[in-house]
Chains A and B, each alone.
Chain A
């Protein structure tokens, strides 16, 4: 299905990556941000956000105990509130996949493993391959790979394409592939669009903004630009690609605005964790706090929400 653009598909190659107008993007986002989400729509939205979170821990100091705690939280977000979903997945390093697998059991919460020498991607391809296979062999449902940003910025698009396509081969029928761009290291929205088209063509199931390891992460202009590529691909092929903004979305308000963007740019078919994820570590508690506020009319102290 993927990597299906033969050299003679001129319509594709000549129209794939339209230019992106920064001013237009900013204005479109301002329209979204002016929307007001209230009442039952807000509750529904907050539940969707929770259900779309990839609860993440990606520290050098991660321990099996911490991962087990994270996995518990993933299934029991806030026992004091009724009717809450689980998160979509936990996101860990390959070495923690086995621990997570055991802790999550049959809960349905997926395991996402970062891979290909996350976060920098600065490793020989053989190492990236081993990294990925290790995660898959231990039971990862999803692989969050990083691209070689240096190669992309140097214009070596074939290299980047081939790398993604090769990792995709390893994932085939075993794991879904998320491709991380680290957009904070890209310079223009035109590059973001070009990389989105490249990654989708190479076989990405999801495209993902960032590692969360550098300050500039999932900004609205970047996310909007990536959604545009997903929409155009869908219009052209009928194939859905998922989107995962990661890093910097730490409040309910921001998360709901992102969902409005998805609703208006892609449509409601993407409003499910099969096609949309938030990569976040601190977002869940803010959402839970807002959820309780919406239910009870009162803000509770942060001390009432577990920090796992």
Chain B
């Protein structure tokens, strides 16, 4: 028998586990409340451009209602409750999320376009783990800050991005509640559905009304939340441009802010690296979640002596990436989150060609409907090209070579961003040297895109400030009390 093409058949995860309403109202004070102006917008499945559900479009009057509910819940219930009791609610939420893990995973994939493999194996389990982790802290806040008495901030306004909708919600809601705050959360407009499903979980968990409020909408809804005078804290994850607007809006107020913004992270392969593992790491760094990852390793630096081998191996590996229906269990690269983002990525690919970089895309078929982008390499990129400087937020990798370690440190740090970096080498000493020299919030060694609730995450420079996760994540929702 001679060799032959062996192509896998689609292996689709069932949509049947997801129960969706046709229309979602705002979740305020434990109830579903219609938006004052009666406006709704469509939530689209980017895999086929079909409408999944209608979602309420909140305005400042709705936001005001939500903040008032959160304030009331804070003063009357949540701030008076013991940490032990708060922890119980968080544990209950975590367990309910686990019980509904499959539904949450399928819904996350339907609404956002990410492969079911990722939502099932990464997003949802990690989101559950964040609740478990912070549930454990709720009654140990005094031990977390020895010698200091800490108090909750009050009402937190939280704005989450569309790339990891449920996970980013967990990063924000879990520590806030554990520390005794109440929240008003606005999810990104293209991915509201798992946040609304989370609201149902809060109801089911019997969480006191008003502790969690979910207000859906667009940027103006978020702006109204940021501008509300009775908010004590704004936590935002999203683009650097919006982060700057938020920071400006908070100047002169008593609002505390944490901003987790964009990135253009360097992934550095030294010549003594375990080369196949490094190639796999490059794939995970840039093609995870279609590159819609703030800490994506989007700038690859390969040491000159192994550059050609790495690039050859990378091209070969890219041929075995499955691009297509995100619900297919074999899909590695799903749909781009929205038509708008697809256009942004496409314009950067055009820009890369215009800037004279050499492009590579594997030979794969792209579904005819929905929003898809082939995984893309740009080789022979210069530090001065815009594709190497600006965050593309898509499956597009720029590749540069370097000769000396000093040179790569300089180039890696030569960016307005400083969110993450990767270092691949067999030598522990080089790991320590580079991780001290790289100005990045996270430096991964011989791995990439690894997250854990116990590990703080956040950026330098225009990648933001404040940390989420771990002990550091607690201090973002507490203040010293005298």
Within 8 A of A (CB), among B236-294: 272-278, 280-281
Q: Is A270 engaged at the interface, CB distance under 8 Å to the other chain?
A: yes
Chain B neighbourhood of A264, CB < 8 A: 317, 320
Measured as residues with beta carbon below 8 angstroms from the partner, the interface class of chain B is 20 to 34
Expressed in whole angstroms, the Cα–Cα distance for A275 and B316 within the complex equals 19
Expressed in whole angstroms, the Cα–Cα distance for A235 and B316 within the complex equals 11
Q: Is B374 engaged at the interface, CB distance under 8 Å to the other chain?
A: no
Given A228-B276, A235-B312, the answer on whether A272 and B3 have CB atoms closer than 8 Å is yes
Q: Is the Cβ of B6 less than 8 Å from the Cβ of A41?
A: yes
Within 8 A of B (CB), among A10-37: 15, 18-21, 23-25, 27-28, 34-37
Q: Is B117 engaged at the interface, CB distance under 8 Å to the other chain?
A: yes
Query: 27 A-B residue contacts at CB 8 Å?
Result: A15-B306, A18-B274, A19-B272, A20-B274, A21-B274, A23-B447, A24-B274, A24-B281, A28-B277, A28-B280, A34-B117, A34-B329, A35-B8, A35-B330, A36-B11, A44-B6, A51-B1, A85-B1, A235-B309, A235-B312, A263-B6, A267-B316, A268-B6, A269-B3, A270-B3, A272-B2, A273-B1
Say how far A169's CB is from chain B's closest CB, in angstroms: 29
Query: A48 touches which one: B6, B273, B312, B316 (CB < 8 A)?
Result: B6
Residue of chain A at shortest CB distance from B424: A21
Q: Is the Cβ of B9 less than 8 Å from the Cβ of A41?
A: yes
Q: Is A40 engaged at the interface, CB distance under 8 Å to the other chain?
A: yes
Q: Is A297 engaged at the interface, CB distance under 8 Å to the other chain?
A: no
Within 8 A of B (CB), among A37-81: 37-41, 44-45, 47-48, 51
Expressed in whole angstroms, the Cα–Cα distance for A121 and B316 within the complex equals 38
B1, B5, B11, B276: most-surrounded residue (chain A CB, <10 A): B276
Chain A neighbourhood of B320, CB < 8 A: 263-264
Interface SS majority for chain B: loop
Given contacts A38-B8, A45-B6, 10 further A-B contacts (CB under 8 A): A15-B306, A19-B426, A23-B277, A25-B277, A44-B6, A47-B1, A51-B1, A264-B317, A268-B6, A272-B3
Q: Is A201 engaged at the interface, CB distance under 8 Å to the other chain?
A: no
Q: Is the Cβ of B121 less than 8 Å from the Cβ of A34?
A: yes
Expressed in whole angstroms, the Cα–Cα distance for A41 and B9 within the complex equals 6
Query: A27 touches which one: B280, B309, B316 (CB < 8 A)?
Result: B280
Q: Which 10 A-B pairs have the closest CB atoms?
A: A24-B277, A21-B274, A36-B11, A21-B277, A272-B3, A264-B320, A36-B329, A39-B9, A271-B3, A51-B1
Q: Is B4 engaged at the interface, CB distance under 8 Å to the other chain?
A: yes
Chain A neighbourhood of B117, CB < 8 A: 34
Say how far A163's CB is from chain B's closest CB, in angstroms: 28
How many Cβ-Cβ contacts under 8 Å join chain A to chain B? 87
Q: Is the Cβ of B446 less than 8 Å from the Cβ of A23?
A: yes
Residue of chain B at shortest CB distance from A18: B275
Expressed in whole angstroms, the Cα–Cα distance for A155 and B418 within the complex equals 46
Q: Is A135 engaged at the interface, CB distance under 8 Å to the other chain?
A: no
B6, B281, B316, B447: most-surrounded residue (chain A CB, <10 A): B6
Expressed in whole angstroms, the Cα–Cα distance for A51 and B281 within the complex equals 34
Within 8 A of B (CB), among A266-289: 267-275
Within 8 A of A (CB), among B93-119: 117
Q: Is B7 engaged at the interface, CB distance under 8 Å to the other chain?
A: yes
Q: Is A259 engaged at the interface, CB distance under 8 Å to the other chain?
A: yes
Binary CB contact string for chain B from 1 to 42 against chain A (1 if under 8 A, 0 otherwise): 111111111010000000000000000000000000000000
Say how far A257's CB is from chain B's closest CB, in angstroms: 12
Say how far A296's CB is from chain B's closest CB, in angstroms: 19
Expressed in whole angstroms, the Cα–Cα distance for A44 and B6 within the complex equals 7
Within 8 A of A (CB), among B300-349: 306, 309, 312, 316-317, 320, 329-330
Say how far B9's CB is from chain A's closest CB, in angstroms: 4
Expressed in whole angstroms, the Cα–Cα distance for A294 and B306 within the complex equals 46
Binary CB contact string for chain B from 433 to 453 against chain A (1 if under 8 A, 0 otherwise): 000000000000011000000
Chain A neighbourhood of B9, CB < 8 A: 38-41
Q: Is the Cβ of A35 less than 8 Å from the Cβ of B274?
A: no
Residue of chain B at shortest CB distance from A260: B8
Chain B neighbourhood of A45, CB < 8 A: 6
Residue of chain A at shortest CB distance from B321: A264
Chain A neighbourhood of B7, CB < 8 A: 41
Query: A24 touches which one: B276, B309, B316 (CB < 8 A)?
Result: B276
Expressed in whole angstroms, the Cα–Cα distance for A19 and B277 within the complex equals 10
Expressed in whole angstroms, the Cα–Cα distance for A209 and B329 within the complex equals 30
Chain B neighbourhood of A228, CB < 8 A: 276
Residue of chain B at shortest CB distance from A44: B6
Q: Is the Cβ of A36 less than 8 Å from the Cβ of B330?
A: yes
Query: B6 touches which one: A28, A271, A275 (CB < 8 A)?
Result: A271
Chain A neighbourhood of B330, CB < 8 A: 35-36
Expressed in whole angstroms, the Cα–Cα distance for A37 and B322 within the complex equals 13
Q: Is the Cβ of B329 less than 8 Å from the Cβ of A35?
A: yes
Expressed in whole angstroms, the Cα–Cα distance for A285 and B99 within the complex equals 38
B274, B278, B316: most-surrounded residue (chain A CB, <10 A): B274
